[in-house]
Structure 1
Amino acid sequence: MATCSDTLTLPSGRVISRATADAAADWLTLLMSGEAVEEQQRQWSQWRQAHADHEAAWQHIESIVGRMKSFGPGPAYTALSSYGASGRPPSAARRRTTQVLVWAGLATGAGLLASRTGPWQARMADCRSATGEQRSFALEDGTQIMLNTGSAVNLRFDASERRILLVEGEIMVATRHAPGLAADPRPLRVETAEGSIRSLGTRFTVRQRSGRTSVAVLESAVEISSRSALGPTRVLHAGEQTQFNRETVETPRAIDEQTDAWTRGQLLADEQRLDEFLAELGRYRPGMLRADPQIAGLRLSGVFPLADTDRILATLPSVLPVSVQWRTRFWATVVPADQAR
């Protein structure tokens, strides 16, 4: 299975291996099943004492299960606790269920599945980036993926195909084969809520928007299929971009300079409305950022470095008749200059 990382970071800051996390999940599966005999209980105790990472992983698992239990018989806790009471599911399925729950807790550092709401699909994804963060990963087949701010993907590689499931956000994919190995014959696809993009040996970006997917091809070509079986298939070539929903793929148009600026750590504006600019900038910083309706239609152009979004806001009054009002560090409103106070 393709993975983005072989380690996880606990809330304490301690880094543990996936093998340790999986072993802890296996012990939890066994102990909650009610099937552990005395000898297995002893082995579990020895495993915990064998390495500090083992104990750290187990303590974190206990905190996750404790939070699940405190919320009552919700689906997460029920999935763990029902093994001994309602017949045993196949061991592989049981292990997978436990790993999903535990990995989600490890990834969030707060037992996210214990809560009744929240974007848990993104939080438990195989590869993630935080708000304002950009991360790059090299997969085992040589494929390179770069995640833009607030993005998440799952990887589903098997003997017949390679699938990258875009849960949220935006990614760039560059298909390469691993050094010393022949090109991988398995098709590579990026799947979104609206359809599928098949790589034809290429470099391209994909962004999941609300009800639509944006695709831009930087090298070679991709083939786009909307999720509807009746929808058209369209080949998109280098220098072209388009959008599609579940039924249709729009006519391609030429790529503009803004398309992949984020891969270079930049935000580009070309006579862009201020409210649209701030909406895009808001993706790269936590909290609330908005424009007063009186100046929302002002337009600006420029190249802005994404490494410091506060600095971008600080420069706005030098190029537009506006001022930035801060209610808190995470709540800023851009208002007309004459309203500055």
Structure 2
Amino acid sequence: MPWRLDAMGSMNGATNARKTPPLANGRVISDDTANVAADWLTLMMSGEATDDDRQRWQQWRKAKPDNELAWQHIEAVTGRFKMLPSQAVYKSLSPIANPALAAPKRRKAISTLLWLGAAGMTGVLTSRTQTWQQTVADYRTGIGEQRHVTLNDGTRITLNTASAINVRFDNKRRLVRLVAGEMMIVTAHAAEEQRPFIIETAEGSTRALGTRFTVRQRDGSTTVNVLESMVEITPVDAFNQQRLLRAGEGMTFTRDALGEVVSIDQQVAAWTRQQIIADNVRLADFVVELSRYRMGVMRCDPSVANLRFSGVFPLGDTDRILAMLPNTLPIQIRLRTRYWVTLEAAS
């Protein structure tokens, strides 16, 4: 296999504490069979399986009846999604995109397919609704990727990293649902004035009034920044709190309340120019923002978290950004792997 999961010892320790053994189609199978089946599904989920890997996977299935039973059980549980690409199905079962880094969490999630019956999978899939919605969205981007979309009314949308939207146009309105991430919208003009253009997020709606603006779905809130013209914001649980935002204004709102109107500048759209701008920013806050564009985990040691700096950095190369930081700050970059980065005090 191109990469391996953690040793089985910790998994076996957890399984020994369980009151019920792993089941496949109602039949008891061994812990080892369940774990190896999880290994194979994890590999298939990674998108890195080679032809040799697939041949060895088929040989494993044929080696013992329980192996094939375990695999058939997995396919039965995920069978309701067979109309979608298999890799997308498998990825929807994992909360983290990077296969090597996410191994323990992936293994635990996938092993659940064998520890629970098919009925029990409802809760597993429900807990990953957001990931699933991103997977099946009309338009989406991966981590570090951007995408330009022109809708059939002429509206131009730029999706930022790890973003997803659904588009629903009818005779009465033009609706774009932001499932995750961030986007820039430049709406079409006069010919479409009879059909309002609306952006929906989990927290409410933003109606465009001939404008250019950005919308970002955060955890429990939505941020809107207006660069041209105006938008009208309505929280989903507070229809009487509508508010107009004009060019140069921004706001973060929740499902039941509007936030404070703040002044913005062109820096809020720097990402559309493939830039990330730091203006006297805390290193810890910069790391949080940069991590949106990089696979894996980035951590900032508390000892350097409050260091402040300014700069303009090219988003297309996060390795280069990391390499530049020690030139201006008393820090060092420690790489456990390319996907596990820690910023700490220089030794």
- Shorter-chain TM range is 0.5 to 0.7
> Please, which runs of 5 or more residues in structure 1 have no aligned partner?
1-66, 81-100
Give the count of matched residue pairs.
246
Q: In the TM superposition, what whole-angstrom CA distance separates every residue of 1:86-118 from its partner, at most 9, and x where no partner exists? A: xxxxxxxxxxxxxxx62x427x55555677444
User: Does the aligned pair in 2 maintain the 1:261–1:267 contact within 8 Å?
Assistant: yes
- 1:150 is aligned with what amino acid? A
CA distance in 2, matches of 1:120, 1:69: 22
Aligned position for 2:327: 318
Q: Secondary structure at the match of 2:191?
A: coil
- 2:184 is aligned with what amino acid? M
Q: In the TM superposition, what whole-angstrom CA distance separates every residue of 1:242-292 from its partner, at most 9, and x where no partner exists? A: 110011112311113431111111000111000100010000010011111
Aligned position for 2:85: 105
Aligned position for 2:50: none
CA distance in 2, matches of 1:323, 1:70: 48
CA distance in 1, matches of 2:180, 2:72: 29
Q: State how 1:295-310 maps to structure 2 within 5 Å.
A: 295-310=304-319
User: Does the aligned pair in 1 maintain the 2:238–2:255 contact within 8 Å?
Assistant: no
Q: Structure 1 283/319 Cα, relative in aligned 2: closer, same or farther at 3 Å?
A: same
In structure 1, which of residues 247, 268, 290 is the aligned counterpart of residue 256 of structure 2? 247
- 1:138 is aligned with what amino acid? T
Given the alignment of the two structures, is residue 138 of structure 1 paired with residue 140 of structure 2, yes or no? no
Q: Structure 1 283/318 Cα, relative in aligned 2: closer, same or farther at 3 Å?
A: same
User: Does the aligned pair in 1 maintain the 2:138–2:166 contact within 8 Å?
Assistant: yes
- 1:154 is aligned with what amino acid? N
Given the alignment of the two structures, is residue 176 of structure 1 paired with residue 156 of structure 2, yes or no? no
Q: Secondary structure at the match of 2:192?
A: coil
How many Å apart are 1:182 and its aligned residue?
A: 2.7
Q: Structure 1 123/305 Cα, relative in aligned 2: closer, same or farther at 3 Å?
A: same
Q: Structure 1 150/113 Cα, relative in aligned 2: closer, same or farther at 3 Å?
A: closer
User: Does the aligned pair in 2 maintain the 1:160–1:186 contact within 8 Å?
Assistant: yes
In structure 2, which of residues 130, 154, 167 is the aligned counterpart of residue 155 of structure 1? 167
User: Does the aligned pair in 1 maintain the 2:141–2:161 contact within 8 Å?
Assistant: yes
In structure 2, which of residues 267, 271, 279 is the aligned counterpart of residue 270 of structure 1? 279
User: Does the aligned pair in 2 maintain the 1:141–1:184 contact within 8 Å?
Assistant: no
User: Structure 1 residues 237-246 or 113-122, which shifts more?
Assistant: 113-122
- 1:260 is aligned with what amino acid? A
CA distance in 2, matches of 1:197, 1:298: 36
- 1:133 is aligned with what amino acid? E
Aligned position for 2:79: 77
How many Å apart are 1:172 and its aligned residue?
A: 0.5
User: Does the aligned pair in 1 maintain the 2:227–2:266 contact within 8 Å?
Assistant: no
Given the alignment of the two structures, is residue 129 of structure 1 paired with residue 141 of structure 2, yes or no? yes
Q: Secondary structure at the match of 1:201?
A: strand
Q: Secondary structure at the match of 1:228?
A: coil
**TM-score with structure 2 setting the length:** 0.66
In structure 2, which of residues 205, 224, 228 is the aligned counterpart of residue 215 of structure 1? 224
CA distance in 2, matches of 1:320, 1:219: 36
How many Å apart are 1:199 and its aligned residue?
A: 0.5
* % same residue: 48
CA distance in 2, matches of 1:320, 1:163: 45
Q: Secondary structure at the match of 2:268?
A: coil
CA distance in 1, matches of 2:238, 2:216: 22
In structure 2, which of residues 228, 233, 236 is the aligned counterpart of residue 227 of structure 1? 236
CA distance in 2, matches of 1:305, 1:68: 45
CA distance in 1, matches of 2:260, 2:231: 14
CA distance in 2, matches of 1:245, 1:189: 17
- 2:74 is aligned with what amino acid? F
Aligned position for 2:343: 334
Q: In the TM superposition, what whole-angstrom CA distance separates every residue of 1:192-250 from its partner, at most 9, and x where no partner exists? A: 01000000010100000011100000110000000114550000001100110011112
**TM-score with structure 1 setting the length:** 0.67
Q: CA RMSD in A?
A: 2.3
> Please, which runs of 5 or more residues in structure 2 have no aligned partner?
1-69, 94-109, 111-123
User: Structure 1 residues 272-281 or 113-122, which shifts more?
Assistant: 113-122
Q: In the TM superposition, what whole-angstrom CA distance separates every residue of 1:292-315 from its partner, at most 9, and x where no partner exists? A: 110001011000010100000001
User: Does the aligned pair in 1 maintain the 2:231–2:246 contact within 8 Å?
Assistant: yes
How many Å apart are 1:176 and its aligned residue?
A: 1.7
How many Å apart are 1:70 and its aligned residue?
A: 3.7
User: Does the aligned pair in 2 maintain the 1:231–1:248 contact within 8 Å?
Assistant: no
- 2:148 is aligned with what amino acid? S
- 1:211 is aligned with what amino acid? G
User: Does the aligned pair in 2 maintain the 1:163–1:191 contact within 8 Å?
Assistant: yes
How many Å apart are 1:184 and its aligned residue?
A: 4.8
User: Does the aligned pair in 2 maintain the 1:68–1:113 contact within 8 Å?
Assistant: no
